Amino acid sequence: MLTGAQLHALADEFGDLLVDIVAGGNSLGFLAPFDHAEAAAWWRARAADVDAGRQLLLAVRQQGRLFGTVGVALTDKPNGRHRAEIVKLMVHSAARGLGLGRTLLAAAERAAVTHGVTLLVLDTETGSGAEGFYRAAGWTEVGTIPDFAADPQGVLRPTTLFYKRLARG
């Protein structure tokens, strides 16, 4: 788990990771061309949410390099404090297939439980490899929304919604 100060200090590494993800065809909310300065600035702007407790941020660093991250966006709505959203699960293209995605997702689920979360939600591009990844991790598919978000080239794509109930530790 990172603090806002740690995120700010590592924003350039987080920017490199985000650029790698978008260059690989995963939008995560961004369109091509997407440069490092823009990516690092986006991450720096998230530091306030981390420090305010609106987002939990986990990362995997090995040999001095950032290989993956995931966020848990908490809600401040009184009727929804039991739920959160998994956001920006990313594994660098050089580290795919090593189990880092599973490790990050499991760590995010545990962190959510420690913050009183019993229900997680997420969305992912329909037809992407992430759909099978989430199903294998015990997530339940809810449905699909057409034309939900643009891919990096600006083409509208559907998204698939998932949820997972968490047992309190």
Residue 11: predicted pLDDT = 97
User: How far is residue 105's CA from residue 157's CA, in Å, rounded to a whole number?
Assistant: 24
Q: Is the pLDDT of residue 118 over 90?
A: yes
Query: Would you say the pTM of this structure is higher than 0.85?
Result: yes
Give the three-state DSSP class for 149: strand
Residue pair 51/4 in contact (Cβ under 8 Å)? The answer is yes
Mean pLDDT, range 58-62, rounded to an integer: 94
| Average pLDDT estimate for 84-112 | 96
The stretch 96-120 carries a mean pLDDT of 96
d(CA 28, CA 22): 7
Q: Write the pLDDT tens digit of every residue in 128-169.
A: 989 999 999 999 999 999 999 999 899 999 999 999 999 875
